[in-house]
Structure 1
């Protein structure tokens, strides 16, 4: 890992070449001022990036390198992961595009593990076309959880709203049975640790949403909230964690209750992502918290319906880059200061609303 006084190396996995990922990634670095904040490293090939930049009329100059460790500051770098020329058919989900997306991701994760890059920003993939005998994961989060140390938490973040998930890419019918005391303790602690270490919030307040409608209505609409969720939250509260709930999900966001908390933990994917994307779409970032390396991504998918049309908005991807840089700096500072007892007393902690 490099010192934060140097440019932070941001690795970019290219995602599904038939989607909008490459477009928003290139548009992000079309503005040369971005090079003042970081050193971008695309994992693809010179020919692929050249074709894409010509197609989208993005006059971006890039520097081809054999390895991420050879990246040059002040330039857009491209690690040549493949020599062949991929067939790009915008808007079409194909197994071939999926295979290139995985090759890019695997090379980027390898560089992340080796410390050749500091932050990984992943462009969107198609969850069906990436499946193969060598890659059987429902998405980035699950793959990264295996490859990187720690316990992963899918954490959707903006400046004012941060939502994590107890369960993520699983069928809705399976979610309640997967929510156990152990899982609740693990995810709450992962969120709490991330809010402290990655966002500089000293005593984070966390709200937990109920599993069933109305949090079960005292057992009338399911028993999981009373049997599993409430006892786990009581245990955490008795352990001095600022954890509250369960709250009925249908009114929690409509009443602006979320503004009173630093983080919100939802029971399953859509319970958390529907309000998050409604309130923050285009500005939100998907952060894989709880791991010993930093990965972010935009809050949207491949958007095949507009792929190749030069219509994609790069704001969420750009925000993913800035968020990754911010987390890297926060984590670097926190680890440095808490590692040294003489510096620890000078560690300044910020409250809610001052985490960026």
Structure 2
């Protein structure tokens, strides 16, 4: 029987002055990775050779100028640019930010054209990437526009999954953005992702309150009673196993999160502080709700240690494996949904 073709994992390089290059090199220095996937790094051979020398890496690259030159069993580097780039680790530089945008845009186009199967993004610097032609607060918003769908920041490990009602918005604006329509949309996105991407057939989801103590019956804000609780009741009446709202301050410390397949937080720090406290170093940021698969590590550019060889690549490696697992599970779900008599497995 012919061996299945490796999953093609596209990798956008992120901010060249950050730790992205280091965690990519450390991940693929393990030659066994090539048994699972075919990496395609969107950067340039000159740039990656600089990183190889700087970090004294034993890695070998296969430079290509066109996506039809990708070779399985090699670490492919697509030349998105050919000029030399001046790299200064740890420095914030808008010119370097422009290279991270070039990498992301080219990788996204390859994802759309299906020259790659999944996309794993190394960390960008959100200020460096801003320009007249690129005005997105981060990867999630950009990919939502390019790929279509209702995107959701979904922080995941094997045992903990946290989604957000609002993500990269100022705290003063978060509550105003939470509407009945948004609550329904985000819960539906999480629910569908748990089924199609993680093979959980009857998802059980917990919702955290918007206000402290979920409003204490209106004493500390009315949004939980007037917006969140009625919408959750509607969804329960439709058969979804959604519970809450729960007071966020004790939810994780009491280990209650272990009773659910996913938790949805009202705003960024309410969900990500406990997630990263519990899972930092092996958590993955997955953009749920899109018709293509994108993951990233659960950390940023880490300018303070960039270039020093100190970066932990565990989360990036987990992001690569998570992207492949979701690709397989989603593919299997499509087969299963067309023929319900087929036995569905979590991984194929």
Would you say the 8 A contact 1:94–1:129 is kept in 2?
A: yes
Q: Identify the residue that residue 107 of structure 1 maps to in structure 2.
A: 106
Q: Identify the residue that residue 347 of structure 1 maps to in structure 2.
A: 343
Q: Name structure 1 gaps, 5 residues minimum.
A: none
Q: Identify the residue that residue 260 of structure 1 maps to in structure 2.
A: 259
Aligned pairs for 1:1-356 within 5 A: 5-339=4-338, 343-348=339-344
Aligned length: 347
Would you say the 8 A contact 2:22–2:311 is kept in 1?
A: yes
The secondary structure found in structure 2 opposite 1:344 is: coil
Q: For residues 160-186 of structure 1, give each alpha carbon's deviation from its aligned partner in whole angstroms, at most 9, with x where no partner exists.
A: 000000000000010001000000000
* Per-residue deviation, 1:70: 2.1
| Distance in 2 between residues matched to 1:242 and 1:196, nearest whole Å | 13
| Distance in 2 between residues matched to 1:336 and 1:109, nearest whole Å | 25
Would you say the 8 A contact 1:202–1:349 is kept in 2?
A: no
Q: 1:247 to 1:14 in 2, by over 3 A?
A: same
| Distance in 2 between residues matched to 1:156 and 1:134, nearest whole Å | 29
| Distance in 1 between residues matched to 2:329 and 2:148, nearest whole Å | 19
* Per-residue deviation, 1:348: 2.9
| Distance in 2 between residues matched to 1:183 and 1:122, nearest whole Å | 26
Q: For residues 85-121 of structure 1, give each alpha carbon's deviation from its aligned partner in whole angstroms, at most 9, with x where no partner exists.
A: 1110000010011000000000000000000000100
| Distance in 2 between residues matched to 1:207 and 1:69, nearest whole Å | 45
Q: In angstroms, what is the RMSD of aligned CA positions?
A: 1.3
Would you say the 8 A contact 1:201–1:349 is kept in 2?
A: no
| Distance in 1 between residues matched to 2:67 and 2:211, nearest whole Å | 47
* Per-residue deviation, 1:68: 2.6
Q: For residues 206-230 of structure 1, give each alpha carbon's deviation from its aligned partner in whole angstroms, at most 9, with x where no partner exists.
A: 0000000000000000010001000
TM-score by length of 1: 0.96
* Per-residue deviation, 1:4: 9.6
Would you say the 8 A contact 1:4–1:329 is kept in 2?
A: no
Q: Name structure 2 gaps, 5 residues minimum.
A: none
* Per-residue deviation, 1:349: 6.3
